[in-house]
Amino acid sequence: MGVRPVRDPRGVTVIGGGAVAAVDLDQALAVAPLLVAADGGADRALSLGRRPDWVIGDLDSLSDAARDLVPAGRLLEVAEQDSTDFTKCLDRIAAPLIVAVGFAGLRLDHTLAALTALVQPGAPLVVMLAPDDVVLACPPRLELPLRAGTRVSLFPMGPARGTSRGLEWPIDGIDLAPGGRVGTSNRALGPVALQIEGQVLLMLPRDCLGAVLGAIGV
């Protein structure tokens, strides 16, 4: 789309209506301080003591109480039903990093839709915080300073290939596909380097958030 009305040179946290612990939101805002709520995510943010800077979506889940607390001019209704509220947010944000919370751990259909949005062509850089995982679309090249034994899961969202260094089970020469070979539950031998061709989700334990942010240059 054209002009993106929500802009921040540091980073943007997007909160959905799913399960969010206070520590999740605090960690996200520490690196991405502008808070955008995807529709009813505004109620989730307010329940955690945070007022969103923007609310974006079709607004069918937003309570009247939350609507009244949104700053003037920061309620952006997008009436079309061809995309999710999460995608509506991503399409309207210009920032070097988006951290997503509240899009996993409540409804499986919402979680699947959010994960699919991460790998769409032209999607911004998004790091999703799930209850037990850090998830992102794996960039073409990535080096991660991981400890030996760290779980490293690679899940292809389409045909993909790659090479690896530092994995217990290397992915070199393997054709990855959702209905074929996948790379879940691999383990790091130490620092890991990946080269990926295709759409692949990288999933790591939550305590790897700092390593992920450092690896992507945040």
DSSP 114-177: HHHHHTSTT---EEEE-SSEEEEEPPSEEEE-PPTT-EEEEEEEEEEEEEEEEESS--TTPPB-
- Residue spans of the domains in the chain: they are 6-131, 137-206
In this prediction, residue 72 has a pLDDT band, given cuts at 50, 70 and 90, of: confident
In this prediction, residue 114 has a pLDDT band, given cuts at 50, 70 and 90, of: very high
CATH number of 6-131: 3.40.50.10240
| Closest to 128 measured CA to CA, from 38, 60, 47 | 38
Q: Topology of 137-206 in CATH?
A: Jelly Rolls (2.60.120)
* Distance between CA atoms of residues 166 and 143, nearest Å: 10
Mean pLDDT of 43-67: 94
23-32, 74-83, 186-195, range with the lowest pLDDT: 74-83
